Structure 1
Amino acid sequence: MGNIPRVLYPFLPSYGPDDANVTGVLNLAALLVNYTLDGYGSMALSNPGFTHLVGVFYLNPYISLVNPDAIITTFHTLFAAYAIGLGVVGTALSVRYLGTRDDKYIKLLRPILWVLTIVLLIEPIVLGHFMGDTVVKYQPLKFTALVTLTGGKGVYGYEFYDPIEALFAYGNPYHPIHGFEYYLSSCNALGNTTFVELYEKLDPSMINYISGISNLTLSSYCREAVLSLEPIAPLVSAFYYTMIGSGIIIAIAAVLVLFTYLIRIPVLTDITDFINYRLLSPLIGYYNVLPFLTMVMAFGSAIAATAGWAAREIGRQPWTIYGLITTNEVVTPVPITPVFVAYVLAILTAIAVGGSLAMYYVATGPGILRNISELLRGGES
């Protein structure tokens, strides 16, 4: 995208080489904004002549697959999926062991734990760090929203200090972090230029299609985007720190499992043995420590993944496609009702339950099917 996004949002960085057609990008922006004034952006996508009006978007169609954000996001998402899937299998084996005390389930659990612990040490520590770097570099406004709860009132000013976050983000605990007022001031740099004035220079043929926003200034459009994130910033931050906290817990659990039950390394094993056998064992039982840590990793992974997804998706408001259309607008032109929300939640719940049962079946064999069959027969009698 190069510097094209900076035309609408001056505070954004450069997004690599100029592989996007500037006229096509701004045409898309104007058309979507124009449609959303009277309805929803998805109405534009259903217009047969819409793509013709936009024109060529990418000069290199493969650029979206090789950009830095896409690469790290792909690995981060895959490892999160591995962690959740392995966690479900590990939980199933742990529950079976706790119910039967049959050591065969511990033997089956060990190879699962080898993969799970390595994944959980790479995912939150390595991939999580690089994921954070991409947010700081390419999505500065989202980063401000993420640290709202620890940034204090300064978040809503021009700049503020958050030593811990600044240390991880910039390598310097005294590096200032931009507040919302900084982004609003950046928007003001666009002046009083209107969309019609912009398109008179870039593509006069589009003026007839942007009548609804012809007198809208670029600065007010930019400010509205920033102001729309401010009210939900605390929620975004809450999800973010839930993800961070869960990530720390599962990483600790992974270390305790790795150096006590899977590999023995002097000093490290002494520390993990002390925690597992001297601290945890008296509380939950000697033979329950490993199943307990397995379930901590499993549930912690699910919580971290869910909170991380929420922080990412809510934090990207009001943008989805390079800041050109909001999530609500791109999904459907039909108003979202409570009935529809309940319907979607029911489908997602069914997928989650069905997927969990399927992974449980893979881990433990046909026993779950027999149990369900017996329950059904018992209900019939």
Structure 2
Amino acid sequence: MDDFLAARMQMALSLGFHIIYACIGMVMPFFMAVSHYKWLRNGNDVYKNITKAWSKGVAIFFATGAVSGTVLSFELGLLWPEFMKHAGPIFGMPFSLEGTAFFIEAIALGFFLYGWDRFNKWFHWFTGVVVGVSGLASGILVVSANAWMNSPAGFDYVNGEYLNIDPIKAMFNDAWALQALHMTIAAFASTGFAVAGVHAAMMVQKKNVNFHLKAFRIAASFGAIAALLQPLSGDLSAKDVAKRQPAKLAAMEAHYHTQASAPLLIGGIPDPENKKVDYALEIPGMLSYLAHGNFSAEVKGLDTIPERDHPPVPVVHYAFQVMVGIGTFLMVLSVMLLIAFRRKQWLSARWFLMLFALATPLGFIAVEAGWTVTEVGRQPWIIQGIMRTADAVTPMPGIAWSFYLFTAVYISLSIVIIFLLHRQIKMVPVQYDVPAGSSQKH
């Protein structure tokens, strides 16, 4: 493995793990706040214990997210020094603001974890809300920095120099709003279905059904709403990408040849050598509509872009298909959940709970696939149209060994997290749904 590939693989590995920790850290506090609110309103101790159980998970992922995020910040400087030399002064503001949001989140989480029976009950609940809001702000700010790489703004590029720097314009670049919206909804969908899936699996095993059913309803509701909103966000994002990054859109759809009334491809195996796609199902005119809102519009293909500027089409196309396929499945599952809330017997049906249990990892797989589309689809650019990834990498040798070491570290960290979460789930006390103020059995 050469050093350039090793540097890219190490960054991909770090981002791939961190994005899961970040999604959970952004979203779980809102689940926690809802269950806490229900306990404060109706006094049912089941919701109090759900809140405490979830807060322990939030603490675990906050710690791991902080560590993996710190590693990423060092990697940007160590692996991509030429990029940080020029980009740092331009898009540094969202990172500095993200640090502020992180500190607020840490303080609020400390208040929440140690504030039981010490603070006013509503102030205590509010600290949990602050954890969620500040975590969400952190995620949006980081996405703003990534969006700048897809839509560079806030500077003039003249003769290889970066002049007239405007950090505010860089932070609020043309891509940030839609990218932040799409990522936020994806975080809620993936985390919602993952948490709901865990509780569904416990119900299938007939373990503490009352506790897990109430937790399932909260998490699944968040996940379902997000999954139903995601196609709308995806449509807006597709139109934006078609305008700003036509090469990325062409790679997503393996669209080799410019044409009007371009079909949308479902599945298929790209053949880069012969510039075609085999075994794909075509929906006539749909790509034109998704890209430009017109079934007859012309969609630029890779034939309009120099070969050296083509993204790796198979990787981007397959990742996009995985993301869309999983998103469609979760959307169908969301509609089934809405029906289940009306036909209450479904919520205890084994087949229904098994669907959610099997869907536990799917949202995060879709997030990873979507992130692959975003990052690999921008290649060969690290800053779209300005700086190539190959020109930004460190000249330091031996990056491959660093990649192997980080792979071992992240795998070990994941094993520890799974062990801790499994132990937390096993430690949940048996809950009985009794009126507020009555004696509780545990």
Q: When the two structures are superposed, what TM-score results if normalisation uses the length of structure 2?
A: 0.51
Is 1:227 paired with 2:359? Answer: no
In 1, Cα distance between the equivalents of 2:388 and 2:417? 30
Structure 1 contact 91–298 (Cα < 8 Å) conserved: yes
Q: Deviations over 1:139-173 (max 9, x none)?
A: 1111111111xx4xxx1x45463222122222223
Letter of the 2:405 partner, please give it. Y
Name the residue aligned to 1:249: 329
Shift of 1:114: 1.3
The reply on whether 1:92 has 2:198 as its aligned counterpart is: yes
Give yes or no for the alignment of 1:128 onto 2:234: yes
Q: Distance in 2 between matches of 1:336 and 1:367?
A: 46
Take 1:20 and 1:91, find their aligned partners in 2: how far apart are those partners? 43
Q: In structure 1, the residue corresponding to 2:382 is in which secondary structure?
A: coil
Q: What amino acid is the match of 1:227?
A: R
Question: Do the aligned residues in 2 keep the contact of 1:144 with 1:179 (CA within 8 Å)?
Answer: yes
1:319 and 2:381 correspond? yes
| Amino acid of the structure 1 residue aligned with 2:227 | L
Letter in 2 for 1:85: T
- Say yes or no: does 1:290 pair with 2:342: no
Give the deviation of 1:84 after TM superposition: 2.8
- 1:186-207 deviation digits (Å, cap 9, x = unpaired): xxxxxxxxxxxxxxxxxxxxxx
Unaligned stretches of 5+ residues in structure 1: 1-17, 31-53, 184-222, 369-381
> Is residue 85–residue 359 contact of structure 1 (8 Å, CA) maintained in 2?
no
Q: Is the 8 A contact 2:190 2:223 kept in 1?
A: no
For residues 296 and 99 of structure 1, do their structure 2 counterparts lie closer, same or farther at Cα, with a shift above 3 Å needed? closer
| One-letter identity of the residue aligned with 1:147 | E
Please point out which of 146, 154, 170 is paired with 2:292: 170
Residue aligning to 2:158: 26
For the pair 1:74 / 2:180, whether they are aligned, the reply is yes
Aligned to 1:115: 222
Query: Match for 2:297: what amino acid?
Result: H
Q: Which runs of 4+ in 1 moved over 6 A?
A: none
Tell whether 2:402 aligns with 1:340.
Answer: yes
Structure with the greater alpha carbon radius of gyration: 1
Matches within 5 A, 1:187-266: 223=306, 226-229=307-310, 232-260=312-340, 262=341, 264=342
Residue identity matched to 1:170: H
Distance 2:373 2:334 in 1: 24
Partner of 1:187: none
Distance 2:300 2:250 in 1: 7
Cα offset for 1:228?
4.1
Shift in Å, 1:287: 2.2
| Post-superposition CA distance 1:5-31 (Å, at most 9, x none) | xxxxxxxxxxxxx97443xx134xx3x
Change beyond 3 A, Cα 1:336–1:87: farther
TM-score (norm 1): 0.59
Q: Which residue of 2 aligns with 1:366?
A: 427
Cα separation, 2, equivalents of 1:361 and 1:129: 41
SS in 1 for 2:349: helix
- What CA distance in whole angstroms lies between the structure 2 residues aligned with 1:114 and 1:26? 51
Change (3 A) 1:326 1:55: closer
Query: 1:252/1:19 Cα in 2 relative to 1: closer, same or farther (>3 Å)?
Result: closer
Structure 2 portions without partners, runs of 5+: 1-151, 264-284, 430-442
Q: Residue by residue, what CA displacement relative to the aligned partner does 1:259-315 show, whole Å, maximum 9, x if unpaired? A: 22x2x3xxxx7xxx9xx97xxx9xxxx722332232344322112111111111111
- Bigger drift between 331-340 and 243-252 goes to 331-340
2:153 and 2:170 in contact (8 A); partners too: no
Q: What is the rounded CA distance, in whole Å, between the counterparts of 1:346 and 1:80 in structure 2?
A: 28
- The alpha-carbon deviation at position 113 of structure 1 amounts to 1.3
Amino acid at match of 1:347: V
- Counterparts in 2 of 1:250 and 1:321: CA distance versus 1, 3 Å: same
Do the aligned residues in 2 keep the contact of 1:361 with 1:367 (CA within 8 Å)? no
* Deviation (angstroms), 1:347: 3.4
Provide the aligned length of Structure 1 versus Structure 2. 257
Structure ranking higher in helix proportion: 1
Report the 3-state secondary structure (helix = DSSP H, G, I; strand = E; otherwise coil) of the residue aligned with 2:384: coil
CA 1:344–1:229 in 2, change beyond 3 Å: closer, same or farther?
farther
The amino acid across from 1:252 in the alignment is: V
Distance change in 2, residues 1:55/1:331 (3 Å): closer
CA distance in 2, matches of 1:121, 1:356: 29
AA matched with 1:343: L
**Between Structure 1 and Structure 2, which shows a larger proportion of strand residues?**
2
Cα distance change, pair 78–352 in 1 and its aligned pair in 2 (3 A): farther
Q: Give the Cα separation in 1 of the matches to 2:187 and 2:251.
A: 25
Q: What is the match of residue 302 of structure 2?
A: 180
